Structure 1
Amino acid sequence: MLPIDLQILKYFFFEKPIYAYKIRPYLTTGNYLDLREKLSQEVHGTPGNQPLTNITYTVFDLETTGFLPEIGHEIISIGAVRMEGLDTYHHETFHQVVKPIRPVRNHTLKLTGLSREQIDKAPSFLEAFDRFLEFSRGSVLVAYPAKFDMRFMKAMLKRWKLPDYSPPVIDSQLMAKWLFPERKHYQLDPLLRKFSIPKLERHHALNDSIMTAELFRELLTTIMKKNILTFNELNDTLSNIEQKK
């Protein structure tokens, strides 16, 4: 892999124009115009003082071609599971492979377990995100860590010249940092072991969503024992952690 400074130069002088060229035909389609309208009209209220046990959550995960959407890395799958309060609905799941603009490296395919055939037959990000938007509508998004996943999602929307997307979000990794400040590392796997959550095959967007949902339930249960009972109380607590960084 090229050093990061060369990756940046390669993206801005070579790959970025290719993305713009390849995306252009989508920008006049009915699907694109419909999604643009949906996002423009999307109203993102927060649950406010609603009890954490009364909120609908969409716990989601992304698999990507790299860590830096700002230099052209892309989403190649989205997984999600719905929760109602502390109840996880494993039958209400979402999993969508996404066809990227640029080729996917063999290393990424091996890591995620996706095949080139699955990638080639998959819908574009435009269609995949539209489906995710419908699945998650009216819920609070949860990810581990949400900072990464939301940054990636927003960068992809910007690349596709779509309106911003700012639903209410909970970062379950920040919850873990607040609850267990003595820990030095906050990777997902050690916390799954801590709560004896069955481990599914990793780096599969739906599997990771299911495991994150089970962890989120444990974190919610623990945090409510500390008298943090509403969305606003949780949001204020996590905001304070962000400000101390």
Structure 2
Amino acid sequence: MRERFRHWLHGLRGGGHPLLRENRERFASFDQDRPLEDYTFVVMDTELTGLNPRSDEIVSVGAVRVSGLRINPSDIFHAMVRPGGAMHKPATLVHRITPQAVADKPSIEEVLPDFLEFCGDALLVGHHVGLDMAFLNRTTQRHLGGTLHTPCIDTMRLAQAWEQECWENSFDPFQPSISYNLRDLADRYGLPRFREHDALEDAMQAAYLFVYLGRKMRGGSIRTLRDLFMAGRSWRWYM
């Protein structure tokens, strides 16, 4: 894997790493108006040494593929990553990944090309996906010379849009007690439960949430990918 990465690195041309050029070209003219079932999604999650993309690092990444609005549990990606810097105790207490557990794991430079190849032409999905993408793009910028152009969908925003739709059709339109934590949403919607703070299992949890919301919202006015994007963006807290 290291030899392949060095080969790609030496093959850089104007415009960045070949994987980033492929990514940019793939999504340069992207059709958002096909039915949701026509798209492939990669639902992802990361575990981190902290929450600051400028100073903290990825220590684990997990992902599962969704096609035809169906989860493929055998089509997964999971890697533990050896960070270059220190691992902070508060983060370790959350995800239980210790320095010893990743001491012999590959660096992010080695893991990154494999993860990008796994994603391919799929759209990225995550719960509070902006945080994951901040770390991922910081990493691709540092090691590959650019950022990703892949469209992303945030299941937290979709859940907020779905709840808003439900509220507007009920006699009690204001429900401040709803939590948009991934675990709490799984309980609320009766979804299968997975272990928290494990990148692959959190990705699987978010995948079930995504498929649930995609099917629920599709039953109303959501037909195409553009409809889904607009539903998430229209949530009033993010105006």
> Which one-letter code corresponds to 1:160 in the other structure?
H
1:120 aligns with 2:103: yes
Query: How many Å separate the matches in 1 of 2:91 and 2:71?
Result: 29
Offset at 1:147? 1.4
Partner of 1:37 in structure 2? 18
Q: How does 1:229-244 map to 2 (within 5 A)?
A: 229-241=223-235, 244=238
1:80 corresponds to which of 58, 63, 68: 63
Aligned-residue sequence identity (percent) comes to: 26
Deviation sequence 1:90-115 (CA, Å, 0-9, x none): 01111001111102134433322324
Question: When you count helix as a share of all residues, which structure comes out higher?
Answer: 1
Partner of 2:87 in structure 1? 104
SS in 2 for 1:69: coil
Residue ranges of structure 2 left out of the alignment (5+ in a row): 165-174
Offset at 1:242? 7.3
Partner of 2:192 in structure 1? 198
Q: How does 1:53-92 map to 2 (within 5 A)?
A: 53-70=37-54, 72-92=55-75
Number of residue pairs the alignment of both structures matches: 218
Deviation sequence 1:126-169 (CA, Å, 0-9, x none): 12111111111011110001111112211222233621112021
Offset at 1:34? 5.5
CA contact (8 A) 2:221 2:227 kept: no
Query: How many Å separate the matches in 2 of 1:111 and 1:54?
Result: 37
Partner of 1:52 in structure 2? 36
Query: How many Å separate the matches in 1 of 2:130 and 2:236?
Result: 10
Partner of 1:154 in structure 2? 137
Q: How does 1:111-190 map to 2 (within 5 A)?
A: 111-160=94-143, 162-181=145-164, 182-183=175-176, 184-190=178-184
SS in 2 for 1:29: helix
Residue ranges of structure 1 left out of the alignment (5+ in a row): 1-25
TM-score, structure 1 as length reference:
0.81
Partner of 2:169 in structure 1? none
Query: How many Å separate the matches in 1 of 2:52 and 2:40?
Result: 30
- Tell which deviates more after alignment, 158-167 or 224-233: 158-167
CA contact (8 A) 1:60 1:141 kept: yes
Offset at 1:32? 3.4
TM-score, structure 2 as length reference:
0.83
